[in-house]
């Protein structure tokens, strides 16, 4: 189950409302992997009374329904009409706060998101690749001419080939660009599936197992 939390970044003044889910066997004396989930444009809100919107899809939805994960799940809410790429500095400081206040294994911090959040996963990952053990961008778009920044970051991208909101070619170009730079990125394309391919991704135990196997060197 998610709890409703908030944190204001002193350096930027950005207020983050976020959902947080801890494992059922949570023990603050242990360390846990951390998964940061970035929602899509439709789940934006004011970070307080609209925070439940973050649990409409993906891992926070499953946590809200009672599914137990072996990691700490943190899902911040973006203000209406905004994009994750505008808040990279505040997101890094927010991540610093989470790591400082929860028993997080710093070598097992994972970033994922869908649609606007999938794009945010690429862009935050490209800006701060040293922070993440793996990236799972879902139906997003990154900066192709900066794919070299992700050459050493494990990445598995997902897209529906009938996506009319963000074209599947965006993920293809990102994965091809990363691998051309010596990376080992993976791509799963769902035939006949539109923008909502996340319904398959976040319910796939193989995806979850792959992510949790990754560690920062």
How many residues would you count in the chain? 217
Give domain 3-213's CATH architecture. Answer: 3-Layer(aba) Sandwich (3.40)
What DSSP string describes 83-139?
-GGGGHHHHHHHHHHHHHHS-EEEEEEEEEEETHHHHHHHHHHHH-GGG-SEEEEES
Give pLDDT tens digits for 24-81: 999 999 999 999 999 999 999 999 999 999 999 999 999 999 999 999 999 999 999 9
Tell me what pLDDT residue 217 has: 84
Residue spans of the domains in the chain: they are 3-213
Give pLDDT tens digits for 153-186: 999 999 999 999 999 999 999 999 999 999 999 9
CB 210 within 8 A of CB 156: yes
pTM of the model: 0.97
Q: Rounded to whole angstroms, how far apart are CA atoms 189 and 187? A: 6
Which residues, including other chains, have CB under 8 Å from residue 18's CB and lie 6 or more apart? 5, 6, 7, 47, 51, 54, 74, 75, 76, 77
């Amino acid at each position: 189950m998610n709890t409703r939390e908030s944190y204001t970044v002193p350096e930027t003044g950005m207020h983050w409302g976020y959902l947080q889910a801890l494992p059922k066997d949570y023990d603050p004396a242990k360390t846990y992997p951390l998964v940061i989930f970035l929602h899509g444009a439709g789940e934006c809100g004011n970070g307080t009374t609209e925070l439940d919107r973050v649990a409409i899809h993906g891992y926070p939805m499953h946590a809200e329904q009672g599914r137990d994960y072996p990691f700490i799940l943190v899902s911040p809410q973006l203000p209406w009409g905004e994009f994750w790429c505008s808040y990279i500095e505040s997101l890094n400081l927010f991540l610093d706060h989470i790591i400082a206040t929860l028993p997080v294994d710093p070598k097992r911090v994972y970033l994922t998101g869908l649609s606007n959040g999938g794009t945010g996963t690429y862009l935050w990952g490209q800006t701060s690749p040293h922070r993440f053990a793996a990236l799972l961008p879902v139906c997003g778009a990154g900066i192709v001419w900066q794919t070299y920044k992700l050459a050493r970051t494990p990445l598995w991208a997902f897209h529906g080939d009938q996506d009319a909101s963000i074209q599947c070619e965006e993920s293809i170009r990102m994965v091809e660009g990363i691998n051309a730079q010596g990376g080992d990125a993976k791509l799963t394309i769902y035939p006949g599936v539109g923008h909502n391919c996340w319904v398959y991704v976040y319910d796939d135990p193989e995806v979850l197992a792959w992510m949790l196997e990754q560690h920062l060197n």
